[in-house]
Chain A
Amino acid sequence: AAGVIQSPRHLIKEKRETATLKCYPIPRHDTVYWYQQGPGQDPQFLISFYEKMQSDKGSIPDRFSAQQFSDYHSELNMSSLELGDSALYFCASSSGSVYGYTFGSGTRLTVV
């Protein structure tokens, strides 16, 4: 079965650079969620999109932005990167059913 695809798997950036993470949801899933997980921490909700519109916002820094495109894939744009942005970034998708949602394998971002 198709899963949530995230790219790239690993990314190394320098401070003050920008990064773009991509997420391709499971086909026919209309909702995408982004999470950030720092070293030794639990996943923290950043932002979600439903039918290409932002549906909720969590602890997403102002330096970050995201959008969902017409094909339902989503991109998380991160600017002015800081060392503290080093983390695993997970994307998840759902169809709004009671079964919750499916996570991707994540992108590991390292800021040096």
Chain B
Amino acid sequence: DAKTTQPTSMDCAEGRAANLPCNHSTISGNEYVYWYRQIHSQGPQYIIHGLKNNETNEMASLIITEDRKSSTLILPHATLRDTAVYYCIVRLRGAGNQFYFGTGTSLTVIP
């Protein structure tokens, strides 16, 4: 699986958009980009995933650059409950293809 690079930590004001970047310059054509988050000692929670196109769901938006070498997770209106470690992971689709967690970005939403 391709390695990813994320900032170690970020702050965001409550109510503002949180933009979390991720570099995955060695991603291959059939690898997806996944985002998970972990709120203090809880199990990692799926947020969103994408292959080429930008994606949006009720939690977040995922913007993937045209060359697929980087992506940005956007939380449109951050709340205090969004304070967590956010992991950007690339992996092949399918059973048995486990997620390898990197360091992640520790996001702190400030009141």
Given A42-B103, A106-B41, also A99-B46 (CB < 8 A) = yes
Interfacial chain A residues near B36, Cβ < 8 Å:
100
B44 in complex: contacting residue of A48, A98, A103, A108, CB < 8 Å = A103
Tell whether A68 is near chain B: CB-to-CB under 8 Å. no
What chain B residues lie within 8 Å of A55 (beta carbons)? 95-96
For residue A64, CB closer than 8 A to chain B, the reply is no
Query: How many residues of chain B have a CB within 8 Å of chain A?
Result: 23
Max chain B Cβ within 10 angstroms of own Cβ: one of A55, A103, A105: A103
Closest residue to A96 on the B side, CB-wise? B95
With CB as the reference atom, state the residue of chain B lying closest to A39: B41
Number of interface residues of A (CB under 8 A): 30
- CB contacts between A and B, total, < 8 Å: 62
- Residues of chain B within 8 A of A31, CB atoms compared: 95-96
Q: In the complex, are the beta carbons of A42 and B101 less than 8 A apart?
A: yes
| A88 with B41, Cβ < 8 A, contacts A45-B98, A45-B99 known | yes
> Bound state CA distance, A85 and B48, in angstroms?
31
* Mask: chain B, 94-110; 1 = CB below 8 Å from A; 0 = not: 11101111111000000
Interface residues of A (CB under 8 A from B): 4, 30-31, 33, 35, 42-45, 48, 50, 55-56, 58, 88, 90, 92, 94-96, 98-106, 108
- Given A45-B98, A45-B101, A98-B49, 15 more pairs with CB closer than 8 A: A31-B95, A33-B99, A43-B38, A44-B101, A50-B95, A58-B98, A92-B43, A92-B44, A96-B96, A98-B93, A99-B49, A100-B34, A100-B36, A102-B46, A104-B43
Partner-A contacts on B (CB < 8 A): 32, 34, 36, 38, 41-46, 49, 87, 93-96, 98-104
